[in-house]
Amino acid sequence: MSNNMALNTSVAPVVLITGAGNGIGKSMTLGLLAKGMRIAAVDRDAQSLFALKHLANQSEQAERLEVFTEDLTRFDAVSLVDRIQEKLGGVNILINNAGLGQGQIRSDYHRHPPKFYEVSPQQWLNAIAVNANAVFLLSQVVAKHMLGDGWGRIINVTTSLGTMLREGYCPYGPTKAAAEGLSAVMASDLNGSGVTVNVLVPGGIVNTPMIPGEAPFLREELIQPEAMLPPLYWLCSREADEVTGLRFLANQWDDRLLGAEAAKLAGAPIGWKDLAVLPVTPKFKS
């Protein structure tokens, strides 16, 4: 592990990654394992986690990987983090990557976008559980531990701002927008604590199992999951100790540049701060 990666300690940092079994999460897991980190890989798909463990075995990295089969629509965040701590130690970096997309409604949603009134209540509840509630619950638990250490990283994978508002993207868009707003609040609440909160998004449609085979795209023309790795490595490094409250577009990251220079080109404030107007608030009573 580079001396510039994450916590300056003789013990490799512990990274909790949700949605780790496939796509972006799998790429992040393998990438951070290669950097020497210890990974708690969380996914609802036990088979994908088994395959991930097999890949780690092949590269002699399995001793730094623990897998946890967990359905984020119904889970106990405290219990999960406790089990991770027993296996690996306290979580230093949390990557809220798991996402439940429009494929839960119908597989041809790109050609036939569902209207919000076609979404069942259960589909809405499932999406908000994974895309927003799990982000809050896990962040709340690990932040308390990170505050004790005086250092930590929370990295949330939301989605493009346009997708949050796009026709036919209920419930995925609005629930990811909830995670985006939450990220901004968390960054403000933790400012100056040594615990940072940032958003990392691909910047477009990614070649992952979330995109069904029926999608009308050439897979090789989509963003590949590995595009997330250069900005992720930088966000996990000590170079990013003072970086918080920002969102980064992976497809805008130029890894030919130094990290801070690439970050300037690919980053912006979380959410819609350039549009936000604070409400009129009366003075506090004396």
For the chain, give the mean pLDDT.
Answer: 92
Q: What is the pLDDT of residue 211?
A: 81
Residue 25, H or E segment = helix 23-34
- Top-confidence residue, 179 or 220: 179
Q: Residue 4: exposed, middle, or buried by beta-carbon count in 10 A (0-12, 13-18, 19+)?
A: middle
Block residue for tokens 């100056």: 192
* 157-205 pLDDT per residue, tens: 999 999 999 999 999 999 999 999 999 999 999 999 999 999 999 988 8
* Residue 142 Cα distances to 19, 160, 173, 208, 283, angstroms: 17, 26, 26, 28, 35
* DSSP codes of every residue in 29-80: HHHHHHTT-EEEEEES-HHHHHHHHHHHHHTT-GGGEEEEE--TTS--HHHH
Query: Which range is least confidently modeled, 78-87, 137-146, 274-283?
Result: 274-283
pLDDT-derived band at 10, boundaries 50, 70, 90: low
Give me the domains of the chain, ranges plus CATH numbers: 14-269 (3.40.50.720)
Flag whether pLDDT at 1 surpasses 50.
no
The whole-number average pLDDT for the span 263-286 is 85
Flag whether pLDDT at 208 surpasses 80.
no
Please tell me the pTM assigned to this model. Answer: 0.93
Q: What is the pLDDT of residue 281?
A: 76
Flag whether pLDDT at 249 surpasses 70.
yes
| E strands in the chain | 14-18, 38-43, 65-69, 93-96, 152-156, 195-201, 246-249, 267-269
Q: What is the pLDDT of residue 8?
A: 46
Backbone angles phi, psi at 237, to 5 degrees: -90, 165
Q: What is the pLDDT of residue 134?
A: 98
For residue 93 the two structure tokens come to 């970096």
* 93-150 pLDDT per residue, tens: 999 999 999 999 999 988 999 999 999 999 999 999 999 999 999 999 999 999 999 9
